[in-house]
Amino acid sequence: MRNLTGEEQQWVRDVLKKIEDKMVPVTQRNLDKIPYTTKDGKFDDKSASEITWWTNGFWGGEMWQLFKLTGNEMFRQQAIEVEDKLDANLMITEGLDHDNGFKWLPTSVIRYKLEKEPKSLNRAMLAAGNMAGRFNMAGNFIRAWNNWDNVDRRGYAIIDCMMNLPLLYWASEETTDPRFKMMAVAHADTAMRDFVREDGSVNHIVVYDPETGKMKESLGGQGYGVGSSWTRGQSWGIYGFALSYRYTGDKKYLETSKKIADYVISELPDSYLVPIDYRQPKDVDLEDSTAAAITASGLIELSFLLDEGGDKYLDAAIKLLKTLDEKRISWGLDTDNLLNNCAVDYHGDGHNMSIIYGDYYFIEAVMKLAGNALCIF
């Protein structure tokens, strides 16, 4: 990765200062919460309403990053409180799925790495064991979701899971038991074959026969439709395959990350305001700032891993982050969130909102540029 220019370094310092200036008072007025989104600019609290919600680890992860940035003990205490609250989730089978990584990597795993807390090790291994139990040996994939809403999801796998595989990689490293890594590699190989198209676009959902493992179909999922290009899914692909390369050293994963990244860069609009789907109708003006932030962090991760040829990925990441800073972030103290214009999916009603993982990945990405981000995933 090239060195940042003096102007870029100053921008990073300025943004990190703005993050600290905002997040100290925001956190002080949201003690004891696990936010997901905002209502009238104020954070909600998933710990009070839905402790199994898939995003509930990101606030803890944000707190750990802010503790690293500032040294403020308040952030560490809030991260630990999130981790403690998630114990309730470990006792609810229907609330455990492939997203165990998103919950316990930013909370228990990072705390164990930093402090060797035995309770954190126990929690993370319980989450990893549960995730390993979702592995389908016939199809070599990790089942994504449970059968809530009376939908048969036994054969569902999703691109998002690439970001949860580090929980299994970490479990193998920590225990020296190769089983977890074997499952992660098998799933990554399946995703590389069945999710990533020739042009670098990706499927969101692939459905397999749970008995035979044979691929049945792909679904549009949270994107525009079958065969489209859901932007957050593209970001999970860039970042997730880069992480599988980091943990395994297998260059096919690095090449896959590059393939997806090259497609994304070719599809980014001149405005660098990312749509919900790169193949949504031209007359539709729907954005997803979370996809922009995750893409940026993934591109930075990819650039770190390349000895040469990484500058274009870093350049695109900086443009995405600067655009968010200038046009899509509420820096004032009258709102709790950072990012605006986030979206859950294309066809639902979750548009033009704030979402906690958008804030998390923006902070993580800028801290990566500064060289002081915690390695959570």
- Structural domain spans, the chain: 6-370
Q: Which residue has the tokens 């970490």?
A: 170
Kind and range of the H or E run holding 206: strand 205-208
Q: Are residues 223 and 277 in contact, defined by beta-carbon separation less than 8 angstroms?
A: yes
Catalytic residue among 97, 160, 336, 359: 160
Percent over 70 (pLDDT), the chain:
100
Residue 160 has pLDDT above 90, yes or no: yes
Query: What distance in Å separates the CA atoms of residue 239 and residue 297, rounded to the nearest whole number?
Result: 7
pLDDT, tens digit (0-9, with 9 covering 90-100), for 291-342: 999 999 999 999 999 999 999 999 999 999 999 999 999 999 999 999 999 9
Query: What distance in Å separates the CA atoms of residue 201 and residue 237, rounded to the nearest whole number?
Result: 9
Confidence of residue 1 (pLDDT cuts 50, 70, 90): confident
* 281, two tokens: 């109708």
Tell me the CATH architecture of domain 6-370: Alpha/alpha barrel (1.50)
> Is 32 an annotated catalytic residue?
no
Query: What distance in Å separates the CA atoms of residue 343 and residue 287, rounded to the nearest whole number?
Result: 7
156-158/141-142 β-pairing: unpaired
Query: What distance in Å separates the CA atoms of residue 227 and residue 377, rounded to the nearest whole number?
Result: 28
Confidence of residue 146 (pLDDT cuts 50, 70, 90): very high
In the predicted model, what is the mean pLDDT of residues 261-285?
A: 97
Query: What distance in Å separates the CA atoms of residue 296 and residue 335, rounded to the nearest whole number?
Result: 24
DSSP string, 305-327: H-SSS-HHHHHHHHHHHHHHHHH
Global pTM reads: 0.98
pLDDT of residue 2: 86
pLDDT, tens digit (0-9, with 9 covering 90-100), for 54-63: 999 999 999 9
Catalytic residue among 44, 97, 99, 336: 99
Neighbour tally for 243: CB within 10 Å: 26
Percent over 90 (pLDDT), the chain:
98
DSSP-assigned letter for residue 107? I
pLDDT, tens digit (0-9, with 9 covering 90-100), for 193-232: 999 999 999 999 999 999 999 999 999 999 999 999 999 9
Name the average pLDDT for the chain. 97
Alpha carbon 133 to chain centroid distance?
Answer: 22
> Is 160 an annotated catalytic residue?
yes
Backbone phi, then psi, for 96, in 5-degree steps? Answer: -115, 130
* 211, two tokens: 């008995």
pLDDT, tens digit (0-9, with 9 covering 90-100), for 305-315: 999 999 999 99
Q: Are residues 351 and 222 in contact, defined by beta-carbon separation less than 8 angstroms?
A: no
pLDDT, tens digit (0-9, with 9 covering 90-100), for 80-91: 999 999 999 999
166: exposed, middle or buried (C-beta count within 10 Å: 0-12, 13-18, 19+)? buried
pLDDT of residue 291: 98
In the predicted model, what is the mean pLDDT of residues 143-160?
A: 96
Q: Which residue has the tokens 């179909």?
A: 217
Confidence of residue 142 (pLDDT cuts 50, 70, 90): very high
pLDDT, tens digit (0-9, with 9 covering 90-100), for 34-51: 999 999 999 999 999 999
